[in-house]
Chains A and B, each alone.
Chain A
Amino acid sequence: MTAAFVFAGLLAILCVLLVAWPFLREPEPESDSLDELDDAERRRLELLEARDRALAALKELEFDHRTGTISDEDYRAQVGLLRRDAATALRDLERAEAVPAPGGEQGRPVGGRT
């Protein structure tokens, strides 16, 4: 039973150390705030997703057309729309990046320690 209590004690100490580690490692950090996305960054993330979505869709359409999975008729109907989507996404992204982020920077250098 004594051994069990010793092991249990060691386990508890180990866990407490692990949990306390961020505070032990940085007792007085320069900044303790989380790297959360602000509204501009969220908007930029949405636009990046839209861009990647449009480009992936175009790539898949091209390949499916090449394999014959998508007919010429469907390809012609789709490709213009997808190119327009991709161009819109890229243009919106450029516009968003042209607008200065709060603090006057494009994409603030938000730590990276978490």
Chain B
Amino acid sequence: MPELGRAALVVTLGLGVYALIAGAAAARLGRRRLALSAQNALIAAFVSTLVAAGVLLTALVRHDFSFSYVARTTSKALPTPYTVSAFWGGQEGSLLLWLLVLTAFGAAAVRLNRGWAKSLVVWVVPVFAAVIVFFSFLLVAVASPFATQVAPADGAGMTPSLQNPYMLAHPPLLYLGYVGLTVPFAFAMGALLSGQLDERWLVATRRFTLFAWTALGIGQLLGSHWAYVEVGWGGYYAWDPVENAALMPWLAATAFLHSVMIQERRGMLRIWNVLLVILAFSLALFGTFLTRSGVVNSIHSFTQSSIGAWFLAFIAISVAVSLALVFWRLPLLRSPTRLESPISREAAFLYNNLLLLALCLTILWGVVYPMLSEAVQGESVVLGRSYYDFFLRIFGLPLLLLMGVGPLIAWRRASLRSLATTFRWPTAVALATGATLLVLGAGSSVPGLVAYTFSAFVLATIVLEFARGTRARKALGATSWPRAFTSLIARNRRRYGGYVVHASIVLLAVGIAGSSAFDSVAEARLERGQSMRIGDYTLVYRSLDERQVSNATEIRATLGVMRGDRDLGTLQAGKNAYTIEQQVSNEVGIRSDRLTGEDLFVIAEQIDPNGTVYFRVFVKPLVNLIWVAGLVFLLGSVIALWPDAREQRRLVSREGEIGVPATS
């Protein structure tokens, strides 16, 4: 039923246009029923987009190749989960997912906030609607997923590297992140338009921003793991433009989540926060543009298309309008307070923001430089891994240290003597860790050693905070130590959830430092029965097997693995030849040591007809901490995201105090 899908998208576009015009008119003229009607249009837009998404999903599952999109992205032999994932595997489907998530966020943000922040929500609706109009217009007029054709006997199939379980979750999570950043943007613009630049737009968007940020973070980590196990080059992050496209808005959102605390506590950084929200939203759009336009060469960019110009125009318009609004409202954005001391919590957060922003803009420059150089010189010059690694160390290591310093300094002003007292234990732990690692030989990589030392410092501060807080709660009357611990977290979920997230970043840093600064690699061409060594591992090439599965021919080399005298069993690495797609993929062999977090990583680079195989083998210390960090990150985010009934009561009571009943 492509007609239903097309009609549903036209309805979404119509609703978007109505919400934009009626919402703007209602806000400007102060019309209550018109404002409600515009809000309902956003909710209806979600319903109609859901219908369109249902049509595409049904066509995919039924292998209806009369839909050009279905024929282009799937085949009959494609396993059902990957057939479903084709929804976001191609350009039109992924744009539809963008719109679906966007309308869902729009409906949810309006529904959840129109009770206690209704005078602000009225101005948010037209902003949301403008973004909906852009995406629904693209889907109706430029890149429809409901284009039809005479159905071929079979589809073209899916890019082999996308046929991976991670692809079921990685792209939708990234989209949740990208699109979720529209919520703070829409509320910030609504606040600017209405001149209501009080705290409400921050409170209304806090959880949405945190949710989007979490989704973007987890999505990237899943993408890294996908690259690690599927792409088969031996790493998890290659500073690829499309990978960077997801990292940049995440960094901007990270900066915002920190600086917003300064605004809430001290009323400072109002302009800065609005600018960060604009930056994060623009970078989310830019990320979609990079992934979908085909302007960059990337292993993650699976489409070449004509939507790039539309995206660039929309980004340019939204940035220009947003900055004009900021300029217009500058008098209202002035902060009532100033930074009192360079040694204070707000100063530490500010340094954190500057470093995050510097890292973000450095990466942005690395992404756009090849495009600019091609436009100016006619030749695309790519900034390589060393460029990014250098700036990651320059900005990343101080950021790591600040994660431990910031939360323990007093607001406004801290004395140097107090700092010495506060940080004596974490410093001692860090120095002891650094010295021990130096003795154990970790001095071969200075940045790696510094990262470990700083990580120890941060971990010590986090443990100290939890221990002191729990002790204080116990002294304040908690009946047991576990109850004191849980009450500590429950009473300030944002703060202690934040510490858990910090702990995950430490794990990430340790995993990255271990696997990149202290890894080893060996290569050898082996015949059956021959062996090779790497570190204290010995690998013996035993056999080569071939088998046919539904959509590919699998070739696997089996290696026996020994560590010293201990037999660790076997490991398989090889290639898959995909029949329909006419492509070959590397299928790596990985043996993880759960105790040490180390991986033995084997790539069968070349398999000769006579059975000789060219192997490349890596040993990656601590790499599994990166994936553990993802779980800890999720835990911390969930703690921070958990609804806080006390805060809700406070907001409702505040609305009541100014005489505006907080009802929906």
Contacts and interface: CB of A to CB of B under 8 A. Distances in A.
Contacts of B472: 63, 66-67
Contact of B15 (A15, A36, A44, A106): A15
Contacts of A66: 472, 475-476
Contacts of B418: 70-71, 73-74
A9 B1 CA distance: 14
A19 B18 CA distance: 9
Nearest to B3: A4
A31 to B, nearest CB: 7
Given A12-B7, A37-B660, A114 B654 contact: no
A52 interface: yes
B51 A11 contact: yes
B654 A48 contact: yes
Interface in A79-112: 81, 101, 105-112
Contact of A42 (B35, B196, B468, B657): B196
B88 interface: no
B408 A20 contact: no
Contacts of A74: 410, 413-415, 418
Contacts of A111: 32, 661
Contacts of B198: 42, 45-46, 49
A36 B657 contact: no
A72 to B, nearest CB: 9
A106 B659 contact: yes
A12 B475 CA distance: 62
Interface stretch (B37-45, B250-258, B310-318, B511-519): B37-45
A67 B464 CA distance: 10
A53 B262 CA distance: 11
Given A22-B33, A74-B410, A7 B4 contact: yes
Contacts of B15: 15, 19
A80 to B, nearest CB: 11
A48 B47 contact: no
Given A18-B40, A57-B265, A71-B418, A8 B119 contact: no
B560 interface: no
Task: Give chain B's interface secondary structure class.
Answer: helix
A105 B412 CA distance: 38
A4 B36 contact: no
What secondary structure prevails in chain A residues at the interface with B?
helix
Interface string A50-73: 101100110001011011111101
B352 interface: no
Contacts of A67: 465, 468-469, 471-472
A63 B469 CA distance: 8
A18 B232 CA distance: 51
Given A37-B658, A114-B35, A68 B3 contact: no
A110 B651 CA distance: 17
A27 B507 CA distance: 60
For A35, A81, A106, A107, the residue with the greatest tally of chain B CB atoms inside 10 Å of its CB is A35
Residue from A7, A64, A74 having most chain B Cβ neighbours under 10 A = A74
B580 interface: no
Interface string B43-60: 110011001000000000
A112 B654 contact: no
B118 interface: yes
Interface residues of A, number: 62
Nearest to B5: A4
Interface string A6-28: 01100110110011111100100
B547 interface: no
Contacts of B444: none
B421 interface: yes
Nearest to B466: A67
B458 interface: no
A114 B51 contact: no
Contacts of B338: none
A60 to B, nearest CB: 8
Contacts of A114: 32, 35-36, 114, 118, 122
Contact of B411 (A12, A68, A73, A78): A78
Given A21-B40, A36-B119, A69-B465, A44 B32 contact: no
Given A5-B3, A23-B37, A74-B410, A53 B264 contact: yes
A109 B659 contact: yes
Contacts of A108: 659
B31 A34 contact: yes
Of residues A3, A23, A36, A111, which shows the largest number of chain B Cβ atoms within 10 Å of its Cβ? A36
A35 B660 contact: yes
B133 interface: no
Contacts of A31: 32
Given A18-B43, A74-B418, A8 B8 contact: yes
Given A19-B41, A26-B33, A68-B468, A14 B47 contact: yes
Contacts of B594: none
Contact of B661 (A44, A69, A112): A112
Contacts of B122: 34, 36, 114
Given A19-B41, A107-B659, A77 B199 contact: no
19 contacts: A14-B44, A19-B37, A21-B36, A37-B658, A37-B660, A41-B658, A48-B658, A49-B199, A53-B265, A57-B265, A67-B468, A71-B418, A74-B413, A74-B414, A107-B658, A112-B662, A114-B36, A114-B114, A114-B118
Interface of B: 1-4, 7-8, 11, 15, 18, 26-27, 30-37, 40-41, 43-44, 47-48, 51, 114, 118-119, 122, 196, 198-199, 264-267, 408, 410-415, 417-418, 421-422, 465, 468-469, 471-472, 475-476, 650, 654, 657-663
**What are the 10 closest A-B residue pairs judged by CB atoms, nearest first?**
A107-B659, A8-B7, A112-B661, A71-B418, A67-B468, A22-B36, A4-B3, A15-B44, A4-B4, A22-B33
Given A49-B198, A52-B654, 4 more contacts: A4-B4, A8-B8, A19-B37, A48-B658
